């Protein structure tokens, strides 16, 4: 797919009365412009579009990946280059340019990448330095935080080259509504199938994701409460064949995670590493749509 092909994403409306983003300007300074910027009580509508990633997106994609890995030694710039090199699969989220048609070389209106949804084959590309770093990172986290049975499963899956794994990346600014995930995932699924039909290495057995969430720990008889940065990922987590989680409270500097929930003393930032069957992705997309619509 060419870089100029646009993917249809619904316009998003932000209502100040529904926003939970009351934080200081210091918390937001690393995020760039936010799509729900408004003044007073006025409502602002901003249109987004998905398009294939191109070379100038590299830094923005790298920043989104850094929010997942934080201080881990993973070369996110190299991973971003890899994502751009396979731009026939995956989308970046941009702000539309007043609904005008764009030339192939046009970027987002102000150069900001608001999100990335794509997949990398971490089996076929295991010898690439950034993918080797990523795979080692997952195993090291599992060794430290996963029960023995879960650790064994992750080791077995990562070590089986006959059953490829796709690292499914689903990152975006926290204030972009979860409804946008449905067309992005639908497009990704179609593009994966098109790539498979051309004999490209996208025939995955598993998808692996790293999901961001916050936890209010159990206290005074009340159970723990988890808040997912991307709402649809709570459903994905519940459909995992295996998973483990770990706190990143010691890794999050002010503004580093890019999440507006950061800084709430009652919430601890976590990551959940999940593994789910690739064949379940179409049904998961349908379930996510129902979940988001409250059905």
The set of residues, in sequence order, having a beta carbon less than 8 Å from that of 90 and lying 6+ positions away, is 52, 53, 83, 116, 117, 118, 119, 169, 188, 191
Residue 85 located in a structural domain = no
pLDDT at residue 11, rounded to an integer: 36
Residue 148 located in a structural domain = yes
Distance, in Å, from the CA atom of 284 to the CA atom of 289, rounded to the nearest integer, reads 9
* pTM of this structure: 0.81
Residue 36 located in a structural domain = no
Residue the block writes with tokens 């991307």: 230
Residue the block writes with tokens 């179609």: 190
pLDDT by residue for the chain (295 residues), tens digit each? Answer: 333 344 444 433 333 333 343 333 344 434 444 444 433 444 455 677 889 999 999 999 999 999 999 999 999 999 999 999 999 999 999 887 654 444 434 455 456 899 999 999 999 999 999 999 999 999 999 999 999 999 999 999 999 999 999 999 999 998 888 999 999 999 999 999 999 999 999 999 999 999 999 999 888 888 999 999 999 999 999 999 999 999 999 987 645 445 545 556 689 999 999 999 999 999 999 999 998 888 7
Range of the domain at 225: 119-293
Residue 35 located in a structural domain = no
Distance, in Å, from the CA atom of 295 to the CA atom of 277, rounded to the nearest integer, reads 24
Contact between residue 294 and residue 231 where contact means Cβ atoms under 8 Å apart:
no
Residue 179 located in a structural domain = yes
**Number of domains composing the chain:** 1
Contact between residue 215 and residue 267 where contact means Cβ atoms under 8 Å apart:
yes
Residue 46 located in a structural domain = no
For residue 21, count CB atoms less than 10 angstroms from its CB and return exposed for 0-12, middle for 13-18, buried for 19 or more.
Answer: middle
């Amino acid at each position: 797919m060419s870089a100029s092909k646009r993917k249809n994403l619904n316009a998003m409306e932000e209502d100040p009365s529904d926003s939970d983003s009351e934080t200081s300007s210091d918390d937001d300074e690393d995020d760039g412009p936010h799509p729900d910027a408004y003044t007073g009580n006025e409502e602002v509508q901003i249109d987004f579009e998905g398009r294939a990633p191109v070379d100038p997106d590299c830094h923005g994609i790298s920043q989104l990946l850094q929010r997942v890995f934080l201080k881990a030694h993973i070369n996110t710039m190299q991973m971003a280059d890899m994502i751009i090199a396979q731009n026939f699969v995956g989308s970046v989220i941009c702000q539309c340019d007043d609904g005008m048609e764009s030339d192939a070389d046009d970027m987002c209106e102000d150069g900001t990448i608001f999100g990335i949804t794509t997949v990398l084959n971490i089996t076929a590309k295991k010898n690439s330095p950034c993918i080797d770093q990523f795979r080692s990172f997952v195993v090291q986290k599992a060794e430290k935080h996963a029960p023995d049975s879960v650790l064994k499963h992750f080791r077995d899956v990562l070590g089986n080259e006959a059953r490829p794994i796709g690292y499914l990346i689903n990152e975006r600014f926290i204030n972009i509504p979860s409804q946008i995930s449905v067309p992005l995932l639908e497009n990704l699924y179609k593009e994966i199938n098109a790539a498979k039909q051309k004999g490209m290495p996208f025939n995955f057995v598993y998808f692996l994701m790293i999901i961001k969430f916050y936890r209010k720990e159990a206290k005074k008889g009340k159970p723990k409460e988890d808040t997912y940065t991307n709402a649809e990922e709570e459903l994905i987590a519940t459909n995992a064949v295996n998973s483990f989680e770990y706190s990143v409270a010691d890794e999050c500097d002010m503004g580093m995670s890019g999440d507006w929930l950061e800084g709430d003393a009652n919430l601890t930032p976590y990551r959940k590493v999940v593994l789910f069957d690739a064949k379940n992705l179409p049904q998961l997309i349908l379930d996510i749509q129902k979940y988001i619509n409250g059905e």
